[in-house]
Amino acid sequence: MRIKFLLIALLTSIIGFSQSVNDYKAVIVPLKYDFLKSENQYRTATMTKANLVKAGFQAFYGNEEIPAGLGDRCEFLYVDVKKDNGFLVTKLFVEFKDCYGKVIYTSDIGKSKEKEYEVAYRECLDLAFASINALHYKYNGKTVNSTKAPTTSIPAAQIVPATAISTPTADLKDPNLLFAQPTENGYQLIDKTPKVVMKLLKTSRPDSFIAIKDGIQGSLNAKDNQWFFEYYKNDQLVSEKVSVKF
């Protein structure tokens, strides 16, 4: 895993700084990380936000209302805390991603031998944020281009023929448009606030997802060049149109 981390750091130094953390106005902090079972478990979200503020960032939880005039979702960074494997040692590192899921910066790994999770996570985050503090973040006033996702190369073996399955085209002028932000197992759909509206889990088909919205589990399916959130209510199938930009 250490080799993997070094490769990530090397790639970041080569291509990641075409954009830097200084290009973004604020940071969005999720309430739950993938290695945890519940929101703000062991106060991880609270500790992350506190460290961000200490490092000079404006930070908001994913469910917070963003002040008017601060900008759109692509002018924010999205922080994620990841857990690395370690025998008798807890290891955490921090990633900053843009609105398309591209990694902008990866911190050093913070390590702790503490057995109590909250204490260990606090120590790990404090150590990981030492490298973030060293960036001396200061917003440079740059406007991030939010109209086009960055181009990335995809191995030929992973490309699905366009004729195989057709997925809907997003209407970028729709005021209710939701934006898909990649997660480990799928996506989370956020609005322009930005606020997490729906969580998606991948299935074997790119035009169908397991979907969770407001505690209701259903599916998000592509039909007639549109996305529909479908679920059962009082034994009746409900189908709601959803506009999504992947």
Q: Contact, 92 vs 82, CB < 8 A?
A: yes
Q: How many domains does the structure of the chain reveal?
A: 2
Would 129 be classed as within a structural domain? yes
- The CATH number of the domain holding residue 120 is 3.30.160
Instruction: Please indicate, yes or no, whether residues 24 and 119 belong to a single structural domain of this protein.
Output: yes
Would 138 be classed as within a structural domain? no
Instruction: Please indicate, yes or no, whether residues 129 and 173 belong to a single structural domain of this protein.
Output: no
Instruction: Please indicate, yes or no, whether residues 78 and 175 belong to a single structural domain of this protein.
Output: no
Instruction: Please indicate, yes or no, whether residues 66 and 123 belong to a single structural domain of this protein.
Output: yes
What is residue 188's predicted lDDT score, i.e. its pLDDT?
92
What is residue 151's predicted lDDT score, i.e. its pLDDT?
38
Instruction: Please indicate, yes or no, whether residues 31 and 76 belong to a single structural domain of this protein.
Output: yes
- Find the domain containing 73 and state its range: 2-133
Instruction: Please indicate, yes or no, whether residues 114 and 22 belong to a single structural domain of this protein.
Output: yes
Would 141 be classed as within a structural domain? no
Instruction: Please indicate, yes or no, whether residues 20 and 107 belong to a single structural domain of this protein.
Output: yes
Instruction: Please indicate, yes or no, whether residues 14 and 129 belong to a single structural domain of this protein.
Output: yes
Would 227 be classed as within a structural domain? yes
Instruction: Please indicate, yes or no, whether residues 38 and 127 belong to a single structural domain of this protein.
Output: yes
Would 48 be classed as within a structural domain? yes
Residue 125 and residue 117: Cα distance in Å, rounded?
Answer: 12
pTM beyond 0.95: no
Instruction: Please indicate, yes or no, whether residues 40 and 109 belong to a single structural domain of this protein.
Output: yes
Predicted confidence (pLDDT) per residue in 175-200, tens digit: 889 998 888 888 999 988 888 999 99
What is residue 123's predicted lDDT score, i.e. its pLDDT?
97
What is residue 160's predicted lDDT score, i.e. its pLDDT?
37
- Identity (one letter) of the amino acid at 92? L
Instruction: Please indicate, yes or no, whether residues 48 and 124 belong to a single structural domain of this protein.
Output: yes
Residue 131 and residue 193: Cα distance in Å, rounded?
Answer: 29
Would 202 be classed as within a structural domain? yes
Q: Which of 112, 133, 154 is the last residue of a domain?
A: 133
Q: What parts of the chain have a pLDDT lower than 70?
A: 1-18, 143-166
Q: Which of 109, 133, 157 is the last residue of a domain?
A: 133
Q: Which of 117, 133, 149 is the last residue of a domain?
A: 133
Would 180 be classed as within a structural domain? yes
CA atoms within 13 A on the CB side of 156: 0
Instruction: Please indicate, yes or no, whether residues 120 and 182 belong to a single structural domain of this protein.
Output: no
- Identity (one letter) of the amino acid at 215? G
What is residue 219's predicted lDDT score, i.e. its pLDDT?
93
What is residue 240's predicted lDDT score, i.e. its pLDDT?
94
Predicted confidence (pLDDT) per residue in 68-107, tens digit: 778 777 889 999 999 998 888 999 999 999 887 889 999 9
Would 156 be classed as within a structural domain? no
Q: Which pair of tokens denotes residue 167?
A: 């997925």
